[in-house]
Structure 1
Amino acid sequence: MNETKDVVIIGGGLVGGLTALLLAQAGVQATVLDAAPIQDEAQVLAVANPRVLALSQATMHLLRTVGVWDKLARHMPYTGMHVWNKNGYGEIMFGQASDRFPAAEQWLGSMVEPSILNLAIQQQMVQQVQDYRTQVKVTRLEQDVQGWRIQLADGTQLKAKLVIGADGANSFVREQAMIGLDLLDYRQAAISCAIKTAQPHLHVARQIFLPTGPLAYLPMASLHAAEQGFWQSIVWTLPDDFADEYSALDDEQFKQLLTRESHYMLGEVLEVRSRAQFPLKARSAQLYVKPGLALVGDAAHVIHPLAGQGVNIGCLDAAVLCDVLLHDLQRGVWAHEQTLQRYAHRRKGQNEAMMHSMSAIGWLESSEFSPLIWARNFGLKQVNQSELLKQMFMQQAAGLQALQGTRYAA
């Protein structure tokens, strides 16, 4: 208790790790308290994770900035995005297909397994963060006049001028700081799994809007060279009762259903691995900051997976928070309340706009009201015919505009 840390980050996943590495790059060493153990590299690399994260250009830029990108053992870039309605004529195609591993300048983004990304983040933190603690459980967090007191399960106590909560959707930091949470239950669930298809993905991410909800086929890397290009990770958003029914099917029945419902978008589904179901709920912390405390990533917000942007807006949180902290540090100020409020002002509005947009699109695309069916088909067709509108959508998805005005601008 004698030493007061400048910053303690609770949570050592992607967003917490990125925050620590961005600070370390500028000479600020955070104490990172991670509940997870050090991962076994051989074990992680030997198993294909059925889920992937769709990393935007902005997130890839930030990972390159801190030296994580070069540590990724595998990933699958995508050069095109194809979105269309099953019951209509509207569709959008961004970018282009590629029948070989594409050059970096063609990438719209890349799909990475969470386990592979977490391994790379952890390896870089071991090298760059001097006080990185794993398998740590925080049991209490209290504010006092000098900052925050942190109690650990092993009896250790820490004091911090700034606590950054990066500990996920069920954030203990948010709870201990008594920050309220706005919750929107979509009454939907997502089924995710890895599938092998008869036709190759050609580095195109695909999403078809079905009457029950969107079905996404996301290119993923294969463990075996002979199967490279034929594996996808799917995210199928469904009403709760449909999700329960489909999850109860055996693999053969599920393959047939998926092949049929996808309109054979990549031919027959040949294999299915590691099916899982999880409920969909949007969450938004009522406050992103309190004196001496900031929330980032899923601790601050969880959005609908429709556009795959959850992980990317969390990384933008990390970049903006580090930028405002380091800007004021140059003036001899650290974690001033106004500094933290600047972070909250820049991120909370943008994140909530994204959350409500995804909710609205999800509702519009699942509606069977005839005028709305016509409107969404017409809208997709108009966007697809306008290069200007397509460029605007692609710029938004890239996320690079959110980094403008920060030290991390690409």
Structure 2
Amino acid sequence: MSEVLDVVIVGGGLVGGLTALLLAQGGVQATVLDVAPVLDSEQVLNKPNPRVLALSQATLHLLETAGVWQKIQRYMPYSGMQVWNSDGYGDIHFGQACTETPTLAKSLGAMVEPSILNLAIQQRMFEQLQDYRTEVKVVAVEQTVKGWRLTLVDGRSIETKLLIGADGAQSFIRDQAMIELDVLDYQQAGVSCAIRTSQPHKHVARQIFLATGPLAFLPMASLDEEQNGFWQSIVWTLADDYADEYCQLDDQAFCQLLTRESQHMLGEVLEVTPRAKFPLKARAAKHYVRAGLALVGDAAHVIHPLAGQGVNIGCLDAAILCDVLLNDLKRGVWAHEQSLKRYEHRRKGQNDAMMHSMSAIGWLERQAFFPLIWARNFGLKQVDNRPILKEVFMNNANGLSTLAATRYAKVDAL
């Protein structure tokens, strides 16, 4: 108890692990407390996950910088995106389709299963961190004169100058720090599973706005080489009652429903894995920081999955926080309150804007009022016809501009 650690990170997932690894590169060893067990690599690699995360170019760059991407053993790059409305002519295209698997340099990003990503993060943390603990649960947090004291389930205590909460949407650290949370319940659920289609995806992520809600087809890697290119992970945003009804359908009926509702965009849906349902709620912490404490990732914000940006803005949190902290270190100070507020200022406004934008788009797409139908179709078509506007959209989506003024700037993107 006499030693006060420089930094403790609660949460060893993507954002918490990335934060720890970026700090380690800057010469700061964090203690990471992870509730998850040590992962069995063989089990993870041999069991496909029906969900994928759409990683932006900025996230790929950060993972490569931290030495994580080199450990990713299964992924699917995507070189194009297509978004359109089922009830009109409006559509928009980014990038292009590819019959051959594109290189990451020529792709818009990559789809990775969460389990594969968690395995790579954990393997890298075991290599780089001196104090990475698994299956650890924090049961109490209190502020002290020196910083924060954490009590673990086994009765031991840890004291730290800086506590970083990376423990997800139901963050215990956020709650213990008495940081209030704004919650917007969409009264919707996401239905997710993996599907096999009769036509190949050609490395294009597709999203169609239906009367029931947006339906996304996201390219994913397959364990079967012969079927690689024909599997997708879907995320279908639905009203709660629709989600319950669709999850109860048998596989054949659900395949037929998907084929019809997707307007046969990739031919017949031939195969489907068991479906999972998750409630959709937007969450925004009213503050990201307190004295000696910072929140990152889902502990600070959860947005609608409409654009698949949740994981990417969490990784940008990690980069900006680490940049601020390591700049402090150069000046001979550590986790100064004003520095933490700079992190909050640089991230909270941008993240809140993203959350409200996704909520507004989701609301607009649910409206059946003809002038709004016309407006959203016209808007999509106008953007698609103007390369400058499309470039602005892509620059915001890839996240590289957020990194431009940091030590993690991607040189060839400047």
TM-score by length of 2: 0.99
Q: Which consecutive residues of structure 1, in runs of 5 or more, have no partner in the other structure?
A: none
Residue 160 of structure 1 aligns with an amino acid whose one-letter code is T
Aligned to 2:173: 173
Residue 196 of structure 1 aligns with an amino acid whose one-letter code is R
Aligned to 1:232: 232
SS of match in other structure, 1:162: strand
Residue 98 of structure 1 aligns with an amino acid whose one-letter code is C
Determine the C-alpha separation between the residues in 2 that align with 1:396 and 1:55: 14
Aligned to 2:145: 145
Aligned to 1:69: 69
Deviation digits for residues 318-367 of structure 1, max 9, x if unmatched? 00000000001100010110010000000000000000000000111111
Determine the C-alpha separation between the residues in 1 that align with 2:105 and 2:2: 51
Instruction: Give runs of aligned pairs for residues 232-381 of structure 1, distance below 5 A.
Output: 232-381=232-381
Determine the C-alpha separation between the residues in 2 that align with 1:148 and 1:349: 27
Residue 165 of structure 1 aligns with an amino acid whose one-letter code is G
Instruction: Give runs of aligned pairs for residues 95-110 of structure 1, distance below 5 A.
Output: 95-110=95-110
Determine the C-alpha separation between the residues in 1 that align with 2:68 and 2:224: 24
Runs of 4 or more consecutive aligned structure 1 residues displaced over 4 Å after TM superposition: none
The CA deviation at 1:76 is: 0.2
Deviation digits for residues 74-129 of structure 1, max 9, x if unmatched? 10000000000001000001100000111333200000000000000000000001
Determine the C-alpha separation between the residues in 1 that align with 2:101 and 2:244: 37
Instruction: Give runs of aligned pairs for residues 28-107 of structure 1, distance below 5 A.
Output: 28-107=28-107
> Percent identity between the aligned chains?
72
Instruction: Give runs of aligned pairs for residues 91-240 of structure 1, distance below 5 A.
Output: 91-240=91-240
The CA deviation at 1:244 is: 1.1
Determine the C-alpha separation between the residues in 2 that align with 1:176 and 1:275: 34
Determine the C-alpha separation between the residues in 2 that align with 1:280 and 1:352: 16
Q: Is the 8 A contact 2:104 2:110 kept in 1?
A: no
Determine the C-alpha separation between the residues in 2 that align with 1:406 and 1:368: 44
Determine the C-alpha separation between the residues in 2 that align with 1:391 and 1:222: 31
Determine the C-alpha separation between the residues in 1 that align with 2:98 and 2:235: 22
Determine the C-alpha separation between the residues in 1 that align with 2:105 and 2:45: 27
Residue 96 of structure 1 aligns with an amino acid whose one-letter code is Q
Q: Is the 8 A contact 2:191 2:247 kept in 1?
A: yes
Matched length = 410
Determine the C-alpha separation between the residues in 2 that align with 1:407 and 1:103: 25
Aligned to 1:388: 388
Determine the C-alpha separation between the residues in 2 that align with 1:106 and 1:381: 25
Residue 81 of structure 2 aligns with an amino acid whose one-letter code is M
Determine the C-alpha separation between the residues in 2 that align with 1:106 and 1:327: 33
Determine the C-alpha separation between the residues in 2 that align with 1:233 and 1:396: 24
The CA deviation at 1:234 is: 0.1
Determine the C-alpha separation between the residues in 1 that align with 2:401 and 2:211: 33
Deviation digits for residues 229-280 of structure 1, max 9, x if unmatched? 0000000001111111111111111111010000001000000003100100
Residue 38 of structure 1 aligns with an amino acid whose one-letter code is V
Task: Give the CA RMSD over aligned residues.
Answer: 0.5
Residue 398 of structure 1 aligns with an amino acid whose one-letter code is N
Determine the C-alpha separation between the residues in 2 that align with 1:149 and 1:15: 22
Moved more, 10-19 or 248-257: 248-257
Aligned to 2:16: 16
Determine the C-alpha separation between the residues in 2 that align with 1:368 and 1:77: 35
Residue 169 of structure 1 aligns with an amino acid whose one-letter code is A
Determine the C-alpha separation between the residues in 2 that align with 1:79 and 1:248: 34
Determine the C-alpha separation between the residues in 1 that align with 2:102 and 2:170: 38
SS of match in other structure, 2:221: coil
Q: Is the 8 A contact 2:77 2:103 kept in 1?
A: no
Residue 65 of structure 1 aligns with an amino acid whose one-letter code is T
Determine the C-alpha separation between the residues in 2 that align with 1:133 and 1:105: 35
